[in-house]
Amino acid sequence: MGLSAMVAIGLSLLMGFAGQVSLGQGAFYALGAYAAGLLSVPKELFANGLGLDPLLALAAAPLLTATVAAVVGVPLLRLRGHYLAFATLALHLILLSVIFGEERLTGGQTGLIGIPALEVGGRTITGNLHTAVVWALVVVCFVIAQNLVRSRAGRGLQAIATSEASAAAAGVDVASYKLRLFVLAAGFAGLAGGLYTYLLLYLSPDAFTLLISIEFVVMVAVGGLGSVSGAVLGAVVVTLLQYYLQKFGTRQELLGLDLPIQTPTVARIGVYGLIFVLVMLFFPRGLLPAFTGALRRLGRR
């Protein structure tokens, strides 16, 4: 939940403030996870592991992800609108085929096992402690994002979202601002991915399907474009929704009808699809902002 919130904060900055649609944020999440995993797996367990201290690997994960984002961002961000959306989607698909294809490097379909647990000062960070660490880092990301929004750069980015040409005319360095934000959002996703690695201590490509990239966009759409706190709320709501759909879908029957085994997936992609259509048609500012707005209007009566 906290992990998704971290990615969603970055994506909401990218989509809401700078108006850049990324359908491939899951790629950076996966990249962070695999970076942390490969750096810390001991050589004896996995031939390409580096066996570094997990803490060091965790610190390196967002940095590596941000570096990759900086490199691919230069050509990608030259694209606008539809092209950027498809290009980021393509990025995720390309990364997935590398994960599956380069078995010796990534463990391929079988995944990556034997990742050591995160230890700080002799204490192993698992379970509740891990959750606490994640949320503490969510707060850090949140503060960074809020500061950015209120800064000169934040105003520049909002100008870009309205019109790139007029922002450029007003003296905003469009390309560099977009790239820096793209790198920051990728860094957040990379950090979340690294933390995910030390939650499960096992990586499988099945955890990073295209659906997660779509899920992050759903979170931002629910929480409201252009609101950092909305992104966190969206992540919480969608994760809970996902949990209840899973519970509901695994039931044997509903109202006397037998449910087929595919029900959880059907419910998940169906609900996401519905959210996209409804939000874009009727609540372009996001589901939750529309909901609280309606409550406020009711309260005033």
Partner 1 sequence: MTNFLQLVVVGLSSGFAYALVGIGMVLIHRTTGIVNFAQGAFAVMGGLVTATLVDDVPTFLAGLLAVLLVAAVGGAMGFVALGRRGRTTLLASLIITLGLALLTSAVHLLVFTDVPRTYPRISATSWDVGGVTVDPQYVLIACVSLASALLLTFVLRRTIVGNALVACSDSRRAAELVGLSVRSLGVLSFAVSAALGALAGLLIIPLIPLTYDSDVSIAVNGFAAAAFGGLDSIRGALAGGLVLGIAENLVIGYIDPQYQLAIGLVIMLMIISWRSRHEVAT
CB 77 within 8 A of CB 175: yes
| Options 42, 53, 97, 243; binder of partner 1; rule CB under 8 A | 97
Residue 134 touches partner 1, criterion: CB under 8 A: no
Q: Does 176 bind partner 1 (CB under 8 A)?
A: no
Residue 199: CB minimum distance to partner 1, A: 27
Q: What is the DSSP string of 158-198?
A: HHHHH-HHHHHHTT--HHHHHHHHHHHHHHHHHHHHHHHHH
* Sign of the CA dihedral with 77 first, then 81, 83, and 89 last: positive
* 186 belongs to the binding site for partner 1 (CB under 8 A): no
| Nearest residue (CB) to partner 1, 3 versus 76 | 76
Considering beta carbons, is residue 61 or 267 the nearer one to partner 1? 267
Pick from 23, 2, 179: nearest CA to 86: 23
Does 170 help bind partner 1 (rule: CB under 8 A)? no
Contact between 293 and partner 1 by CB under 8 A: the answer reads no
Q: Does 296 bind partner 1 (CB under 8 A)?
A: no
Cβ neighbors of 144 (< 8 A, separation 6 or more) are 184
Q: Applying CB under 8 A, does 299 fall inside the site for partner 1?
A: no
State yes or no: residue 173 binds partner 1 (CB under 8 A).
Answer: no
Binding segment for partner 1 (CB under 8 A), chosen from 52-60, 120-128, 131-139, 266-274, is 266-274
Residue (240 or 274) nearer to partner 1, CB: 274
* Nearest distance from C-beta of residue 34 to partner 1, angstroms: 16
Say which residues have a Cβ less than 8 Å from residue 292's Cβ, sequence separation at least 6: none
The minimum distance between CB 155 and partner 1, in angstroms, equals 21
Determine, following the binding rule CB under 8 A, whether residue 222 of this chain makes contact with partner 1: no
CB of 161 to partner 1, least distance (A): 11
For residue 209, what are the contacts with CB-CB under 8 A and spacing of at least 6?
Answer: 26, 96
Shortest Å, Cβ 217 to partner 1: 8
Q: Which residues sit at the interface with partner 1, rule CB under 8 A?
A: 21, 23, 75-76, 78-83, 85-87, 89-90, 93-94, 97-98, 100-101, 164-165, 168, 210, 214, 217, 221, 260, 262, 265-267, 269-270, 272-277, 279-281, 284
